[in-house]
Amino acid sequence: MSLDLPTATARIARELTESETAIADALAKATALLHSAALAGRDLGGAPELEGQRALLRLEKIVRSLIDVRGETGRAHGQLRDIAVETGAGEEPACPDNGFTSAEQLTTIAA
């Protein structure tokens, strides 16, 4: 079964919004986990300090990766918006700014 333009546009818009929300939720949850682990490392004793540090570094990598994924999703959103406009899939939708960057790009910009 092939899709027609209005159906494909509606499906992509819905799934893109759902994906963006899921990524934002995952980022918030991963950040909360990193926060809780940092507090536990500070307030509770007993865990080997080196292992706690390794766990924090892994959690930080997860958060950084989710931030990068958020940027990639924003760029894909912009490209899909451009395709929708070119194909006449409807009025130009309200989308996020085109200025999405990855954490790596922000570090480069800040330097």
Kindly report the pTM of this predicted structure.
0.76
Supply the range of the domain harboring residue 48: 5-110
Q: What is the pLDDT of residue 109?
A: 55
Q: What is the pLDDT of residue 3?
A: 84
Q: Tens of pLDDT along 78-87?
A: 999 999 999 8
Q: What is the pLDDT of residue 111?
A: 44
Of 61, 59, 69, the closest CA to residue 35 belongs to: 59
Q: Which amino acid is at 69?
A: V
Q: How many domains does the chain have?
A: 1
Tokens of 92: 């130009």
Sites in the chain below the pLDDT cut of 50: 111
Q: What is the pLDDT of residue 104?
A: 55
